[in-house]
A and B are shown apart, each in its own frame.
Chain A
Amino acid sequence: MQLPYTIYPLGDAAATISLGNIIDEHLNDKIIAMQQWMLLQSFHGQRDIIVAYSSLTVLYDPVLIKQQYQPASSIFEWVAAKLTEAFEKSTVQPQTPQQVIRIPVCYAPVFAPDLATMADEKNLSAQELVNLHCAHVYRVFTIGFLPGFSYMATLPAALVKPRKPKPVQVMAGSVGIAGAQTGIYPLDSPGGWHIIGRTPLPQFNARGEQLVRLRVGDRVQFYAVSEEEFYVLAAQEQGHITQ
């Protein structure tokens, strides 16, 4: 695979390899492959790996690298060589048919402060908008912003809407739209996404076996539930957590 890439410093304790400035499944697959390679071949002083849409960032401790490997070059150049190696040696695993993770969402007005306005703007009925949102399978491209906040894409063109100019307070579980992305707020937080529903499934549990529900590379489809079903599911989840 011949992909163009660039490696640049993100200060003096982090470096990024970028495969392009686009949302693309193949690039994201390659980023995941590089992450796996970096974790298996991890070097002394490697602190963390951040996976984004089409880039990978490694955070490192320059002092530990200097002590351990004593590179003749700058530490950045040494890390850049590691990233080049990760790019060249990592291989994208052949796609196994992946189970689609289904997430219940209640699109009732009480949970969807921005749905009516958005439907009006798009010349859709509320139901048509919900059907569109539920019709597609999305991919989790990256997790960031908040613990377990998964950025999913790509929305059908009819639902694309730039984020709000000013953030407002958003409740945990809220399902939002920003640009061509959709995502779920794992915690109460200020946010600029247009909120069209809420899921009763917690996305993040600081003390759970599994910290976050979704992982990069997961395939996700939403399905609509009524308010009654929302509260039943929420109560079940509550039970799981307290057990």
Chain B
Amino acid sequence: MSISVIKPGLLDTMQDLGRYGYGSLGINCGGAMDRYAAQLANMMVGNAVQEAVLEMHFPGPQLLFEQNALICISGADFSPSLNDQPLPLCQPLLIRKNTILHFPRLQWGARCYIAIHGGFSVDEWLNSYSTNLKAAAGGYAGRKLEKGDELISKESTIYFPALMKAGKDVHALPWRTATNSVYQFPHEILFVRGHELDALTPAAKDEFMQSNFTIHPFSDRMGYRLKGPLLHFETPTELVSTGVSFGTIQLLPDGEMIILMADHQTTGGYPRLGHVMAAHLPKLAQLRPSDCIQFKEISIAKAEEAFFAQQRDLSILQTACYDHLNALVCKQ
């Protein structure tokens, strides 16, 4: 078949850009933690951005290619290697069959993605390929990958066989993209103010804006717990449950904060100090336990601008990738 899982990683799941439209039934959005990296990987191999990608955590899986494939690896750098040859990130790669992709060392980041030309053929549940582990639905049988699983591309035609040079396991297509601007200043997290921010004591508000907070080991796809000075309100605030979103910074009764991430539930009852702006969610998704962050406020209008700029870059990249791939196909 296509790609076989020899050894699963810590948490390998199929994800896309999220499942929308079922929030009122308690079915959460989910989706890739780093949606920038997920989109980028798809674009580099000529896919629509909504295709499923494989999201991996360190230690990553060992994958056997049983067929030639065109893939792109993006997001975290787990030193991707084909047999023993290091592979570049954010570059389209033609992989020869009977080779093994593995991830020997964690260099940077927390979540690494693989897209395959044509898109992974996985379960679509409620209009999304994202894996909902609680509902055991969507993605690869609604669960994380296990030994022996077979990943198949929806596209059976393998392009560019002529580019596969004899004796070489991989051929990198000659274009790549730099992602520095998305992940720079990893510790500076900009937020839009939350509805209960002003209920903090003045001292707590200063602490929130000026202190360093550390990501706690009990952090996962649902949320990041933060360690740092405890924050308190002028008067204890009791809220009935309301909607929450990816990036919402909640203050728990014990004075600690939690940032809701991709697998957050649909509603929450804790006061909201802020919401991490969308353009900073990718770099937040690449932080790991014991990494430090500092919060800085930004206006809603500026946050929107930052997100538009990031998406504009991606759409330019998408056009460029299509053009490059088309040019290659025409040359054949």
Residues of A within 8 A of B (CB): 8-14, 16, 18, 21-23, 35, 47-57, 59, 62-63, 66, 74-76, 142-149, 151, 186-187, 189, 204, 206-207, 211-212, 216
Contact = CB atoms under 8 A, between A and B. Distances in A.
Given A12-B303, A13-B307, 19 more contacts: A10-B243, A11-B278, A12-B307, A16-B195, A16-B242, A48-B22, A52-B240, A52-B242, A52-B243, A55-B243, A56-B243, A57-B245, A59-B20, A62-B307, A143-B25, A144-B241, A145-B265, A145-B267, A206-B125
A142 B275 CA distance: 23
B8 to A, nearest CB: 22
A35 B239 contact: no
Contacts of B23: 48-50, 59
B315 to A, nearest CB: 9
Interface in B6-33: 20-27, 29
Contact of A11 (B26, B265, B275, B311): B275
Nearest to A163: B269
B248 to A, nearest CB: 7
9 closest pairs, A vs B, by CB? A57-B243, A11-B275, A144-B267, A50-B243, A47-B20, A206-B137, A12-B303, A14-B245, A74-B301
Nearest to B244: A10
Contacts of A11: 192, 245-248, 275-278, 303
Contact of A147 (B25, B241, B278): B25
Given A11-B192, A63-B308, A187-B135, A146 B240 contact: no
Contact of B304 (A35, A62, A146): A62
A9 B238 CA distance: 20
Nearest to A66: B308
A12 B243 CA distance: 14
Given A53-B240, A142-B241, A145-B267, A212 B25 contact: yes
Nearest to A204: B135
Interface string B35-55: 000000000000000000000
B241 A52 contact: yes
A149 B275 contact: no
Interface in B214-271: 238-248, 265-267
Nearest to B18: A47
Given A59-B245, A74-B301, A12 B29 contact: no
Contact of A76 (B21, B267, B300): B300
A23 B238 CA distance: 12
Contact of A144 (B134, B265, B275, B277): B265
Interface in B75-131: 125
7 contacts: A12-B278, A48-B24, A52-B243, A62-B304, A76-B301, A204-B135, A211-B27
A88 to B, nearest CB: 21
B267 A50 contact: yes
B163 interface: no
B136 interface: yes
A206 to B, nearest CB: 4
Contacts of A10: 243-245, 248, 272, 275
Contacts of A47: 20-21
A74 B304 contact: yes
B275 A147 contact: no
Contacts of A48: 20-24, 29
A37 B210 CA distance: 43
Interface in B271-316: 272, 275-278, 300-301, 303-304, 307-308, 311
Given A206-B135, A206-B136, A211 B25 contact: yes
A22 B240 contact: yes
A42 to B, nearest CB: 10
A188 to B, nearest CB: 9
B264 to A, nearest CB: 11
B241 A53 contact: yes
B240 A23 contact: yes
B22 A211 contact: yes
B26 A145 contact: yes
Contacts of A187: 134-135
B266 A8 contact: no
Contact of A21 (B240, B247, B267, B272): B240
A56 B242 CA distance: 8
Contact of B24 (A55, A75, A216): A216
A212 B275 CA distance: 30
A35 B135 CA distance: 25
Nearest to A27: B240
B69 to A, nearest CB: 30
A31 B248 CA distance: 22
Contacts of A13: 245-246, 278, 307
B136 to A, nearest CB: 7
A9 B191 CA distance: 11
Given A147-B27, A147-B135, A55 B308 contact: no
A211 B242 CA distance: 22
Contacts of B137: 206-207
A57 B242 contact: yes
B67 to A, nearest CB: 30
